[in-house]
Structure 1
């Protein structure tokens, strides 16, 4: 297409030059005499296989544009019969139309079986890679000449042939001695099977190799009957669960940000290699490596938490020990399915799966397996204790109960009144507080709280907040009172604070004991189910598993006028959803650690606003949007999703720019010092775009940046939106995923 366009341009220019020459030579514009007839040209050659131009494609634009059809009745890919492969391949052309994909010269085939387990070791079904089970590699190649060279190895391959009468339709046959490498003579042809293909050597129209692996969708079927299978019984984790944190690839449709093996990024692909047959050496196992998928994913997600428990005998590799898992490890259903027929993860406990996290257990000696050090030679006894009851995964891990426990302590502010003369005013706050479902009767009832900070500040006419930040404020402060069942807090304020609309709330934490009641987070306690002493791994004096108090921010007007609420609770000015944060974090109170106990953006706003100066984790400001961008993009945490996928946090289709070129949130300046301000658009982009050239670009478009700050909060709107607003030539939607 590019060459075609260049040819048209050349003809057009040649025509212009020709006209110019006639004019310069003084031509009078008369037609010339016809020349003698030319010699007839040769007949044109037929197109490939008689196909019209455009009826097939041989190049692709991205890996996800390729589709495959594999019909079980046309294939023999399992057992000891004669190997036979047949499939069709299509790809989208420039217009997005599906066309036969012609010219493939190399594919590989993976075949696995959900084999019934006849032993007492492992689950009732387990994945078997048929190539490995037959004594070969995990997949087999098919090429045009029946041989392959890959990773420095040359060997026999099946012979791949494209049907000349049906471009895009391919067959593969095995012409060498012995059985084809994926044909496992001990296979169970009545068990669910999975096959998928990988295609090699595909390029785009410019001859550039496609970066992502081109994979077919896995086909699940029963070889004996050819029937398709909807549920293999082994898929207890869906790709959709992984995508909550890792994102959705726009080029493959699989998981977006798994670096290992590039883009075998589907759980249904992973099991082809990561199954019980793949085990570490004794040396690697001692370092914490494990490769069977259930145990491996548990170990990977255990990350830093397991590494920090090394003193208690837990194993973790150095590489995985750097991972900060964003959700409670005990919330199994963040990943695992509760659908009928997909619950073997909780119904059939095995040693291998459990030691993914419980890596301190040695089942040979029994060390670490309860206080009785129970040795287990196989898995035959696991279900006796762990399939149901108090020691089952759901109950022992308290799956789903964290969200219920938050309401064991509830705080709801019901009033705010000011009193006193100018210069010595106070604001009296009242709140309803319940603990374990009962209203508090005395101040000492609040001793169950760890953190007990009061969140309070002014709200201006634009919905911007300014925190009071008065030292010593808290729910259980000794001069607070309980009057008629209400908590009463008296706060001394300045005259500037004691005016107009204010917000009031709290961030507070507590622990839960074995009776399921709110309890003090005492490091010496032995009956805590949230707040175990060994879990204190975040540098806090409060255990990391403490819960946040159930509380909402309420708004009051100290002058009795109309209440102005903050922009953090205005849906029209918020482009991010807490539910999207919780899809990865489960609950924001866990993500913020035990020193906060916050669930909502309007709790976060007390510190993370654009009027409160100061640094945050090494960043130059505490503004919520820029802090979150920096935290997720600059290596502070091992962010699991693509940094350019805005939909991981932002509302689908949200417009980040307002009509005036500023941000939808209405932010116009971010305070970075007592008298210094920077502009918000550039600072948001600066989280990722950190080069000196980028900063120079920001400044040239009206931005104030750290080191060159403004001395007023009344800043003009940067001109970023001129080029980068949604829909513009270089709009953010052109380079970031917004839908």
Structure 2
């Protein structure tokens, strides 16, 4: 016992000593020798190299989901299956697998022959709508998804291949087959599949602004071959002419940038996934007022501003849409085949001709067709065919056939007031043949004016006077017109530009505008003639050495008439004056004839008058006192207008938002030339314009660069005006009495290539 006790005391003492040593500062001990290194561990599985996959993208165009027909099962008795790959761009612009996708929606349809006598020859059929499941089917990792309304719905099970990141498969793990599979469908029909992806973010965690939609795949399931739809009579390129093209996509995958409905499904091919015969009808329902089938709805929508009897949702959604071309010009949109002319059926016709009741024959000469098969009996060819009944291309034919050209000018300046004499001779041909002696334009014209302005040495246009051709008889193929007045043009260069339009029939032939009883008899009115602006130097008898307007110098014009015409078809349609070129418009729209018929800016309130028409109110403090061409073009297209001459197709609503402009508002290239600077080397405008007159006598002036910015809605505020003034601009409301204004300093920050350059600030809808 004694020995045991002593050992216990010794152990306690050792423990106490060790404990005390552990509480010391450690300076009195020495480190022991290092131990032997341990054996190497088992190597782990190598990780993916940095940057070999991504789970974010900067834009929708950087996200590419690819499908192949061999990986899609959506028809017949086989189980649903789908496989696809997804890539995303790295910060270096490299395409690598996109990992982590956890929700998609599949849109599946097929194109089948119509076996009835009613409707289009080919019809789209949505698989999910046919199976009463909705417009699409979700796929998620859990096989369940939350639908738009918040309800939980069955979904296909989405699995990413761990061995191949960015490769995904979808299967149906619920009872029966997936709702995108059409069990009794025809595998020989063209099928279309499009996939929408959800919940994809950029590197900051923000959601991608645009929808992430795959390129639609058209194929024949029976063979696995790719196919081309015969129904696609309107291409995406046609829509883009007005609605702007999305950036970043391949030339083979162009997409529409600015479609407000459903936040933009980007392609015509995608729209028909829902807008197909499954949703047809509704035009007879006063609460709806339109047929939601694509071929009908798209007509009603674009004709909205022209249809007086729209009601319900149609009136609310479409009633203010103004088609920028002529509504009867079918080829303005139909650019892919002649289906629009060859396939005549009621559904398409009455979507524009809403006052026609084919059940009673009302507004159809009492004719009640038994079925659509009977329509071609009258409308299949001849004057009642869509091509001829709509006068398609008649305007262009008429314009091309009638040509007026300046032959000569003689001028005598008189000491007597108002007795300066100008004699102008024009050559006139129709279909290339000089007009006969005695021919007059009288009775054929809507406007018959030839404007005679003069050009300063710097290319600035000044209005002077005009001559009228009505009442002048032709001799030897020429019209000679004399005008007297106080012109004071001796030795100057003059410009002769048309404000001239005529009437034509359905064949594009010149026709008298009124019949013997005074009723209109033309098919196409306000038709421009072919006439280039002409310049004549009054200092030389032969007119040589004339100074031309800056509007006729391509290097000084940054806007592009061809781009205007992509949406308007012809600039002559926008107004009735027969002007199809900027250097014709300059006769009125120039920087020296101040004033405006639309000084105040009005917005559309939420109120209506006793007739149900919208009420417009003035925006206080916002005025424009010039009719310069860019001022008018910018103002009108951004909605800074009024209703003085009828409802403006583009206007501001009560929230001060621009309504009716079809393109992306900040896309300058929609109208301006590509790769052309808006600023000159000296900081002024490329045009050389340095001042704009704001009164009719051209005695008061403002700066042009600030006015160019202010005429767009985003820059029309009081704060913007203060910014302009602080940077050297002479502005509306505080004009100068000289046209010799200093160049504004706008280009210092906003010239192309600068940090805040117009090309940067207007990129990607920056406003």
TM-score tier by shorter-chain length is: 0.7 to 0.9
- Aligned partners of 2:412 and 2:665: how far apart in 1? 50
**What is the CA-CA distance between 1:138 and the residue it aligns to?**
1.2
**What is the CA-CA distance between 1:433 and the residue it aligns to?**
2.7
Alignment correspondent of 2:551? 568
**1:363 correspondence with 2:358:** yes
Alignment correspondent of 2:182? 184
Alignment correspondent of 1:607? 588
Alignment correspondent of 1:539? none
Alignment correspondent of 1:502? 494
Verify the 8 A CA contact 1:146 1:157 in the aligned structure 2.
yes
The 5 Å alignment of 1:186-585 reads 186-229=184-227, 231-250=228-247, 253-281=254-282, 284=285, 288-307=289-308, 310=309, 317-338=315-336, 342-369=337-364, 371=365, 373-423=366-416, 424-434=419-429, 437-442=433-438, 444-469=440-465, 473-476=467-470, 482-494=474-486, 496-513=488-505, 516-522=508-514, 528-531=521-524, 545-560=525-540, 562-585=545-568
Counterpart of 2:158 in 1: which secondary structure?
strand
- Per-residue Cα deviation, 1:484-513 (whole angstroms, up to 9, x for no partner): 542222222435333310001321222123
Counterpart of 1:326 in 2: which secondary structure?
coil
Counterpart of 1:450 in 2: which secondary structure?
strand
- Aligned partners of 1:377 and 1:388: how far apart in 2? 19
- Aligned partners of 2:235 and 2:163: how far apart in 1? 39
**What is the CA-CA distance between 1:249 and the residue it aligns to?**
1.5
- Aligned partners of 2:88 and 2:284: how far apart in 1? 46
- Aligned partners of 2:190 and 2:678: how far apart in 1? 47
Counterpart of 1:72 in 2: which secondary structure?
strand
Verify the 8 A CA contact 1:652 1:738 in the aligned structure 2.
no
Verify the 8 A CA contact 1:723 1:730 in the aligned structure 2.
yes
Verify the 8 A CA contact 1:47 1:53 in the aligned structure 2.
no
- Work out which of the residue numbers 722, 726, 750 in structure 2 matches 1:724: 750
**What is the CA-CA distance between 1:584 and the residue it aligns to?**
0.8
Unaligned runs of 5+ residues in structure 1 are 1-35, 532-544
Verify the 8 A CA contact 1:676 1:710 in the aligned structure 2.
yes
Alignment correspondent of 1:617? 598
Counterpart of 1:261 in 2: which secondary structure?
helix
The 3 A distance-change label for structure 1 pair 220 and 605 is: same
**What is the CA-CA distance between 1:624 and the residue it aligns to?**
0.6
The 3 A distance-change label for structure 1 pair 314 and 180 is: closer
- Aligned partners of 1:48 and 1:707: how far apart in 2? 74
- Per-residue Cα deviation, 1:496-547 (whole angstroms, up to 9, x for no partner): 333310001321222123575322322866783525xxxxxxxxxxxxx431
Verify the 8 A CA contact 2:109 2:125 in the aligned structure 1.
yes
Verify the 8 A CA contact 2:324 2:567 in the aligned structure 1.
yes
Verify the 8 A CA contact 2:692 2:703 in the aligned structure 1.
yes
- Aligned partners of 1:235 and 1:328: how far apart in 2? 22
**1:642 correspondence with 2:668:** no
- Aligned partners of 1:693 and 1:43: how far apart in 2? 70
Counterpart of 2:80 in 1: which secondary structure?
coil
- Per-residue Cα deviation, 1:580-621 (whole angstroms, up to 9, x for no partner): 1111111111111x3x11111111001111011011433421
Calculate the TM-score normalised by the size of structure 2: 0.83
Alignment correspondent of 1:676? 700
- Work out which of the residue numbers 598, 601, 618 in structure 1 matches 2:579: 598
**What is the CA-CA distance between 1:697 and the residue it aligns to?**
1.1
**What is the CA-CA distance between 1:360 and the residue it aligns to?**
1.4
Alignment correspondent of 2:67? 70
Counterpart of 1:73 in 2: which secondary structure?
strand
Verify the 8 A CA contact 1:246 1:640 in the aligned structure 2.
yes
- Aligned partners of 1:78 and 1:149: how far apart in 2? 25
- Per-residue Cα deviation, 1:164-210 (whole angstroms, up to 9, x for no partner): 00000001111101221111122111011100100000111111111
**What is the CA-CA distance between 1:652 and the residue it aligns to?**
1.2
Alignment correspondent of 1:699? 725
**What is the CA-CA distance between 1:445 and the residue it aligns to?**
4.6
- Aligned partners of 2:627 and 2:241: how far apart in 1? 26
The 5 Å alignment of 1:56-135 reads 56-135=53-132
**1:629 correspondence with 2:634:** yes
- Which deviates more from structure 2 when the two are superposed, residues 633-642 or residues 680-689? 633-642
- Aligned partners of 2:522 and 2:495: how far apart in 1? 33
**What is the CA-CA distance between 1:425 and the residue it aligns to?**
1.9
- Aligned partners of 1:298 and 1:652: how far apart in 2? 32
Verify the 8 A CA contact 2:281 2:293 in the aligned structure 1.
no
The 3 A distance-change label for structure 1 pair 158 and 500 is: same
**1:667 correspondence with 2:702:** no
- Per-residue Cα deviation, 1:339-366 (whole angstroms, up to 9, x for no partner): xxx4322221111111121111112112
Verify the 8 A CA contact 1:134 1:185 in the aligned structure 2.
no
Verify the 8 A CA contact 2:243 2:256 in the aligned structure 1.
yes
- The aligned length equals 676
**What is the CA-CA distance between 1:376 and the residue it aligns to?**
2.6
**What is the CA-CA distance between 1:60 and the residue it aligns to?**
0.8
- Aligned partners of 1:246 and 1:399: how far apart in 2? 22
Alignment correspondent of 1:657? 679
- Aligned partners of 1:47 and 1:355: how far apart in 2? 70
Verify the 8 A CA contact 1:190 1:223 in the aligned structure 2.
yes
The 3 A distance-change label for structure 1 pair 444 and 52 is: closer
**What is the CA-CA distance between 1:273 and the residue it aligns to?**
0.6
- Aligned partners of 2:212 and 2:38: how far apart in 1? 43
- Work out which of the residue numbers 697, 711, 726 in structure 2 matches 1:687: 711
- Aligned partners of 1:355 and 1:257: how far apart in 2? 27
The 3 A distance-change label for structure 1 pair 495 and 161 is: closer
- Aligned partners of 1:78 and 1:40: how far apart in 2? 65
Counterpart of 1:519 in 2: which secondary structure?
coil
Verify the 8 A CA contact 2:402 2:430 in the aligned structure 1.
yes
- Aligned partners of 2:144 and 2:630: how far apart in 1? 55
- Work out which of the residue numbers 169, 172, 175 in structure 1 matches 2:173: 175
- Per-residue Cα deviation, 1:409-445 (whole angstroms, up to 9, x for no partner): 4322211111143343211111123457551533755
Verify the 8 A CA contact 1:203 1:210 in the aligned structure 2.
yes
- Which deviates more from structure 2 when the two are superposed, residues 164-173 or residues 572-581? 572-581
**What is the CA-CA distance between 1:482 and the residue it aligns to?**
4.6
- Aligned partners of 1:738 and 1:496: how far apart in 2? 51
Verify the 8 A CA contact 2:453 2:462 in the aligned structure 1.
yes
Counterpart of 1:75 in 2: which secondary structure?
strand
**What is the CA-CA distance between 1:733 and the residue it aligns to?**
1.1
Counterpart of 2:724 in 1: which secondary structure?
helix
Verify the 8 A CA contact 1:85 1:171 in the aligned structure 2.
yes
> CA RMSD for the aligned pairs?
2.8
The 3 A distance-change label for structure 1 pair 601 and 475 is: same
